[in-house]
Structure 1
């Protein structure tokens, strides 16, 4: 169970505790986890299938949406099956290598989704401000390069963090008060100085998520400026409706994360289980609701879903 190195004993197997303080409620808590995961699997898989099989949807907006749905599938799969195994079978044991691997995929996928939301804001900007040049600017080649860049950015920024975790000696405890392995949760049970981990995590946060939020905000300032210069109310409504779904998804994705950070910073008397539940919200809610939002608000996708489910109806 443990190995010896130059600093002493280091745990190589850890035990996830789930929701601390609510262990007797794990079976009930598993219900929304299970429902959200099944909904995310079905909704995002259907969205990907429709976009890939319908040539009429092979446009920039839908290709970015396909990337978002794929990322949502990976993000929810990174954590929910592990949480369900813990809730149902008390299968909370996880090795150090598996734990660090989970940290890598969870963090990099979260950053990838943030990057996709940024390019979707850019897509809205081009569609509203340069509608006649939309398809010539956002070519499939450019979209492919953007997708590759998003993946490489996430990979290259998170990969060093795995080595920073791997170098630590975990001699304090092998109990992790969470439903999954998280970077800072794992680092906090180390006996070593984790200032490098903290500062690198801060650098990653500022250079990815905070930068993405700032650029999304700038994009929408430019979009709103362009909308208010349009001559008619109908043009205003059509332009704002183009970005309505994206705004809802942005709020769902960044809102819980920001609220969780503020709670940890200022809510010093809040119970630990509240932090853990909030940390799970951004993995449960966006992947479940994103395909529903786009399915309801995007006519082309809505029509394809209706045609697929009710083929005899026109």
Structure 2
């Protein structure tokens, strides 16, 4: 274990202490986390390969879905391997710069995930409200630029986290009661009033990214609902809205645990036990990547048919007879 530098109060490394109060059951907690991580990696890579290999899925909706799957893989891989090393092998030490790097990637990719969900809502809005212009509005060039802007937005806002955190003096030690380097978990072990800047900036980024994305998603689905209700046929209404059900489920799965973690970290520190904070902080990064491929596989007819056709390729079994 590395000691603090007395002159600069910058530790050579941090100690990630795992889940406080549940150290004796770390091994048991690791099994469901490892299972979810395996499902997330397998499901998202499988979905990306399916979208790449099936020409019928070379459409904006599924390109955005592939981008979401790619982001989900990055989100959970930025923390879970390190978390499992802590839970399995008690490898708790992490280099100071490696901790800052992990913090950067975690928040960048979660911000990008939120942005992709917003782009998918806009995709559904264009598809339902402007179906005749859908192909001309959402071209491959537009999709690529939207994905790049979403990534650069996350990098631009999050990179300041690392500078704000690196400048803090860590006179309270170098033990972080967490399984990975989260911005506020690291900032809270520092000393001095400057940590308030981190808290305020973190809240501002959450509002600028998460708040803006949720606002766009809400406006998009309000317009979609108005367009669907105006359809004369009940069957047409059902078909139009059914294309959005998978995305709505994914939004709920992503934002509910994320905002629970965010607000309890800042406002519920004295009322919610620390181990609940840490478990939810892991689940909010792991649950969406685990559930998204399953939700889209179950709710989206085109993906179900492509999966069945892929599985029974070269056989005499028809997917429509299953």
When normalised by structure 2's length, the TM-score is: 0.94
Which residue of 1 is the match for residue 275 of structure 2? 273
Partner of 2:188: 188
Partner of 2:244, secondary structure, is: helix
Listed one character per residue, the Cα deviations across residues 238-297 of structure 1 (whole Å, up to 9, x for unaligned) are 111010000000000001122234544357332110111111111111100100111111
Contact 1:36 1:285 in 2 (8 A): yes
Following superposition of structure 1 onto structure 2, how do residues 190-205 of structure 1 map, counting pairs within 5 Å? 190-192=190-192, 193-205=194-206
Runs of 4+ in 1 over 6 A off after TM superposition: none
Equivalent residue number for residue 166 of structure 2: 166
Q: Which ranges of structure 1 fall in alignment gaps of 5 or more residues?
A: none
Q: SS at the partner of 1:150?
A: helix
CA–CA distance in structure 2, aligned partners of residues 202 and 10 of structure 1: 25
Structure 2 gaps of 5+ residues are: none
- 2:93 paired residue number: 93
Alpha-carbon separation, structure 1, partners of 2:84 and 2:269: 28
Whole-Å Cα distance in 2 between the matches of residues 186 and 119 of structure 1? 31
**Structure 1 residue 197, shift from structure 2 partner:** 1.4
Matching residue of 2:134 = 134
Structure 1 window deviating more from structure 2 (87-96 vs 299-308): it is: 299-308
Q: In structure 2, what is the Cα distance between the partners aligned to 1:82 and 1:26?
A: 13
Is the CA contact 1:2–1:10 (under 8 Å) kept in the aligned structure 2? no
In the aligned structure 2, how far is the partner of 1:237 from the partner of 1:83?
A: 43
* Greater CA drift, 303-312 or 219-228: 303-312
Number of the residue aligned with 2:307: 305
Counterpart CA distance in 1 for 2:124 and 2:20 is 42
Q: Secondary structure at the match of 1:127?
A: helix
| Pair 1:76-2:76 in alignment | yes
Note the C-alpha offset of 1:307: 2.2
1:249 aligns with 2:259: no
Change (3 A) 1:75 1:140: same
Aligned twin of 1:212: 213
Q: Give, in whole Å, the separation in 2 of the partners of 1:243 and 1:197.
A: 37
RMSD: 1.4
Number of aligned residues:
313
TM-score (norm 1): 0.96
State yes or no: 1:113 paired with 2:118. Answer: no
